Structure 1
Amino acid sequence: MTDVVSSSDAPARSGSGAAARLRKRYAKERRFKLYGQLAIGVAVAFLMLLVGRIVEQGHTAFYSHRATSEIFLDPGRVDRAYPGGANYLQLLAEQEAADLGVAGDPTAVREVRDLFSSELNFLAADAVEADPSRIGQTITLNAPLDDSADLYLKGEIKRDTPADQRVLSDRQLDWLDAWRAEGLIEARFNSALFTRSDSTQPEVAGVLGALVGSALMLLVTALLALPIGVGAAVYLEEFSPRNRLTDLIEVNINNLAAVPSIVYGLLGVALFINWMHLPRSSPLVGGLVLALMSLPTIIIATRSALKAVPPSIREAALALGASRTQAVFHHVLPLAAPGVMTGAIIALAHALGETAPLLLIGMVSFVPGVPDAVTDPSSALSVLVYIWENASERAFHERTAAAIMVLLTFMIAMNAVAIILRSRFERRW
C-alpha cells in the first residue's frame, strides 16, 4: 500500500530544504572571505619579508667607520709646490706600522695600508693645499677605512671565518680591535652615499649621479609623454569618429601596454641611437624610450578618467551654447584631471623602476660623474642596482640594498602623491 504524503508535511520539508541551502550559501561566503583574508595575509607576509630583507642588508650602508689618525707631513716627501703628488696613504701606513711595533716589515706596512681607503690621499692633499704651512707638522685626520675593514667593524666579516676565506688577516683584525678599544674608530653617517657618484671603490661610491640621471630622464619622459598621451586620449574619447580605424588604434594601444619593456629598448637603439645619432647612455635617450613605454598607460588611464565623467556634464555645457571643444576642455577634462594625474604619476613611477630598456641604450656603462644636461652620459637608480649587485666586492652588496631603498622611497612617494591627489580632488557621481 502506498503512503500518501499529506499537504501539511510539504511546507515543513520545503522549509528545511531552504534552510539547508541557506546554510551552505553562508558557509561558502565564509570560506570565500577566509580565502580572501588568507590571500591578503600571504601577500603582506611576502612584502614584509622582501622589505625586511632589503632593510636588513642595506641599513649598514648608511653609516661607515673612520679612524682618527695622525700623519707627520715629512718635508722630504711632500712637495710644497705640488702637495697633491704625495702618497699620504703610504706615509700613514709607515707611521702606523711603527706605532704598532712592526716598522720595517714591508708586509705589515702593506697590511696597514690596506685597512685605509685611498680617499685619504685626497683628504690630506686638500688639507695641505688649504694651509701649506702644515708641511713639517703632524696633522690629525678622520681617515676613511677600506670597505673590508668597514665590513668587519659592522659584523659582516666574522673572525671565526677561516683565514683563507676572508680578505683580512688575523693581524689586521687585531689592529682594528685595538684601535676600536682605544676609541680611535667611530661610526658616522655615510654622507658619501648621497653626495658622491659611482666609484670603483665601494666605500666612496654613492647614488648622486644615478639620482640626478633618473630625475632628468623622468623630466624628459613627463615633458613628452604627458601632453602626447593626454592629447591622444582626449581625441580618441571625445572627438574621433567611431569606425574601424579608431577601433584598430584602440586595440593596438591596449596591446602596446603589454609589450615587454626590453622591446622598447631595442626600438630606442634602432631609432634614437643608430638612426637619429643621439648621444648614447644619456637621459635624453632614456627619457625618449621611457616616454614611448609610458604612453599606452597614460592614454588608457586618461580615457578611463574621461569615461567616468557623467554624460550630463557634456550635455549641459552643449545645451548652454558651448562648443564641443569648450565642453571638453572647460568642463569634462578639469573634472577628469584627478584620474589623469593619478594615471600619469603611476606611469612615471613604473618608468622609474625600468632597467631592461636602459641597459640596451648603454646606461650600464660606468659613469663616475654627475650629468649637467640631458645629453651628458649618465646612469639611473635601477641600472645602478644592477651594476652594484654584479660587482665582485662584497661591500657593494649592502650598497645595492641601500640603492633599492632609495629607489623604493621615490616610487612610494610618487604613488603617495597619486593617492593624495585622487582622494583630494576626486568627485563622486
Structure 2
Amino acid sequence: MSETTAPKPFDWSSPKATATRKRRYAADRRLRLYGLISILTAIGLLGVLIASLVATGHTAFVQTKIAVEFTADPENVPPDDPASGNFRAVVSNAVQQLFPEIDDPRELRTASGILSNGAANIVRDYVTAHPEVIGQSFTLNVPASDPYDQLNKGVIDRSLPEERRRVSNEEIALFETLEDRGLVSTPFNWGLFFNADSRFPELAGLAGAIVGSFYLLLVTFLISFPVGIAAAIYLEEFAPKNRWTDLVEVNINNLAAVPSIVFGLLGLAVFIQVFGLPRSAPLVGGLVLSLMTLPTMIIVTRASLKSIPPSIREAALGIGASKHEVILHHVLPLAIPGILTGTIIGLAQALGETAPLLLIGMNAFLTSPPGGIMEPATALPTQIFIWADSPERGFVSRTSAAILVLLGFLIFMNALAIYLRQRFERRW
C-alpha cells in the first residue's frame, strides 16, 4: 500500500505571496482612488455650475430704485376717473423737479430715461389704489431703467471710454447727481418673485411662471398619482402572470426611457388638435407631464409593494381578510412612504421639463399670472428659455437668477422626498 504525501502548506511569507498581496492591495487602493476622484470631479463640476450661476445671477436679486416725489395734479389725474389720467406727464413733471436746472427738452428726455419705462404704470397703480393722494405730493421708489441699474451694480464699468459704454458721460453725471443726493437705493428685488413677465428687464419677474408651474404640478399630481398607484396595484397584486402582462411591463419600462419631446408631440397631436383643448393651458401641460411621469410612478409603486414582506399578506389572510382588504388596509399603508418618495421625485422631474411645454405653446409672453388651469400660462423652465433668448442685456442676470430659483425648488422637493423616506420608512 503506497503512502500518500500530504500537500505542502502554502507559504504566505514567500516572496511570491508577498508580491501577490502587494498587487492586490495596490489594486484596492487604485479602485478607491478612482472612486474618490470621480466624486470630487462631480462635486467640482457642480460647484463650477453653481458658482457661475451665482456670479451671473446674484445681481438680479437686488434692484436699483430712485426715490421720486410725484404730484398728482388734478389737471393730469381727474378725481372721478384716476386710471385715465396722463401719468406720463406726472412722471415728466417729477423728473423736472429732480433736475430743475434742465430746461432743454432733449436733456429732459435723457434724464427721464433714468426711470423705468414702466414708471407711469407704477404711479397709475398707486394713485388708483390711493385716490386720496390726488392733488397732493407723494414719494415712490421707482425702479431705474436697465442701463442705470447695471451702472449702479457695477456691470457697466464707469472707467471705460464713452464709446464702449451703454451710457454716456452726460447720463452718468445725471445719475451721480441722484446718488449724491441720497435718492438711489438697492433693496432686495421682491419683484423678481411677485412681478409677471415684462419687456423691460427691471420690471420682469417670475410670478406668472411660478403660478403656472404650480397649476402644472397640480394637474400632474391629480392624474398620475391615483392612476399610477391603481395600475401598479393591479399589475403587482391582481394581474395574472402571462405573456400579455409581461408585454405591458416591458412597455412601461420602455416608456420611462422615451424622450420627453415625444410626449410633447403626443400632447400637441391629441390634446390640442384632436380634443381641441386650449393651447398654452396648464391643463394640457399637466396632461402631457402626467403621461411622462406615469411610467416612473408605476415602477416606483410596484417596487414599494414588492418590498413589503409576504408575512404581512399571509397574516392578514390568516385572520380572514379579503384580498382587497389585505392590500388597502395592510400592504398599501406600509408602502406609502416609498410611493410618496417616488411621487415627489417624479414631480421634480416634471417641474424641470422644457421640451414638451414648448411644443404645446407654454412659452408665450404673458404679463399677468394665470387665473386657472384653462388660461394661458408659462412655467419656470419655459420662462428661463424666453429670457435666455431675449436680446436685452438685463435678462442675462435674470436668466441665471431664474435657474437658481428652479434649482432651489428641485432641491427642496428632493430634500422633502429624503425626509419622508427617512421619517416613515419601515425596515424589515
What TM-score do you get using the length of structure 2 for normalisation? 0.92
SS of 1:142's partner is strand
* Alpha-carbon distance between aligned partners in 1 of 2:126 and 2:284, rounded to the nearest angstrom: 41
Between the aligned partners of 1:354 and 1:8, the Cα distance in structure 2 is 67
SS of residue matched to 2:374: coil
Distance 1:13 1:76, change over 3 A: closer
Q: Give the match's secondary structure for 1:70.
A: strand
Residues 342-421 of structure 1: pairs in structure 2 closer than 5 A = 342-421=341-420
Structure 1 residue 289: deviation in Å? Answer: 0.3
C-alpha deviation, 1:58, in angstroms: 1.6
Deviation (angstroms), 1:318: 2.3
Distance in 1, Cα, partners of 2:51 & 2:133: 51
| C-alpha displacement of 1:79 | 4.6
After TM superposition, give the deviation of residue 390 of structure 1 in Å.
0.8
Secondary structure at the counterpart of residue 284 of structure 1:
helix
Alignment match, 1:321: 320
Question: Residue 9 of structure 1: CA displacement?
Answer: 9.6
**Aligned partner of 2:94: which letter?**
L
Deviations 1:40-81 (A, max 9, x none): 001011111111211222221121111122345566555555
* Match of residue 33 from structure 1: 32
Once residues 372 and 77 of structure 2 are traced to their aligned partners in structure 1, the CA distance between those partners, rounded to angstroms, is 38
Query: Where do 1:210-359 residues align within 5 Å?
Result: 210-359=209-358
Contact 2:72 2:133 (8 Å CA) reproduced: no
Shift of 1:380: 0.5
User: Aligned-pair distance for 1:142?
Assistant: 2.2
**Number of residue pairs matched?**
419
In structure 2, distance between residues paired with 1:250 and 1:374 = 32
Please tell me whether the aligned partners of residues 70 and 94 of structure 2 are also in contact (alpha carbons under 8 angstroms).
yes
State the alpha-carbon separation in 2 of the partners of residues 245 and 357 from structure 1: 30
Correspondence for 1:155: 154
Which digits, 9 at most, give the CA deviation of each residue in 1:130-174, with x for residues without a partner?
346653x55433222111111110111112334334321111112
**TM-aligned CA deviation for residue 362 of structure 1:** 0.6
Counterpart in the other structure of 2:92: 90
Shift of 1:94: 3.5
In the alignment, is the contact (CA less than 8 A) between 2:73 and 2:134 conserved in 1? no
Please say if residues 96 and 112 of structure 1, whose CA atoms lie closer than 8 Å, have aligned partners that are also in contact. Answer: no
SS in 1 for 2:346: helix
**Structure 1 counterpart of 2:311, one-letter code:** S
Structure 2 distance, partners of 1:355, 1:292, is 15
Q: Given that residues 89 and 118 in structure 1 are in contact (C-alpha distance below 8 angstroms), is that contact kept between their aligned partners in structure 2? A: no
Q: Distance in 1 between matches of 2:132 and 2:260?
A: 55
Tell me the CA shift for residue 303 of structure 1.
1.2
Aligned to 1:4: none
1:241 and 1:75 mapped to 2: Cα distance? 80
More divergent stretch after superposition (191-200 vs 122-131): 122-131
- Identify the range of structure 1 (266-275 vs 322-331) with the bigger mean alpha-carbon deviation: 322-331
Matched AA of 1:86: F
Give the SS at the match of 1:204: coil
Match of 1:55 in 2: 54
Distance (Å, rounded) in 2 between the aligned partners of 1:323 and 1:225: 27
Q: CA deviation at 1:13?
A: 7.8
**Residue aligning to 1:145:** 144
Inter-partner Cα distance in structure 1 for 2:81 and 2:332:
65
The code of the aligned residue for 1:92 comes to A
Deviations 1:96-149 (A, max 9, x none): 44x3x3312x331221111101332133334555346653x5543322211111
Give unpaired runs (5+ residues) of structure 1. Answer: 1-6
Q: Distance in 2 between matches of 1:127 and 1:11?
A: 93
Query: What's the secondary structure of 1:41's corresponding residue?
Result: helix
Contact 2:92–2:112 (8 Å) recurs in 1: yes
Letter in 2 for 1:189: F
Q: Which moved more, 1:218-227 or 1:54-63?
A: 54-63
Q: Please identify, of 117-126 and 192-201, the stretch whose mean Cα deviation from structure 2 is larger.
A: 117-126
For the structure 1 residues 49 and 133, does the alpha-carbon distance in structure 2 shift closer, same or farther, using more than 3 Å as the test? Answer: closer
Q: Letter of the aligned partner of 1:115 in structure 2?
A: I
Evaluate the alpha carbon distance shift between residue 341 and residue 78 of structure 1 in structure 2; reply closer, same or farther with a 3 A threshold: closer
SS class of match (2:170): helix
Displacement of 1:184: 1.4
SS at match of 1:141: strand
1:85 shift after superposition: 2.3
Distance 2:75 2:315 in 1: 90
- 1:265–1:361 contact (8 Å) kept in structure 2: yes
Query: What SS does the corresponding residue of 1:92 show, helix, strand or coil?
Result: helix
| Structure-2 separation of matches of 1:23 and 1:320 | 60
Distance 1:27 1:55 in 2: 41
- Residue 3 of structure 2 corresponds to none
Q: 1:3 aligns to what?
A: none
- 1:96-115 matches, cutoff 5 A: 96-97=98-99, 99=100, 101-104=101-104, 106-115=105-114
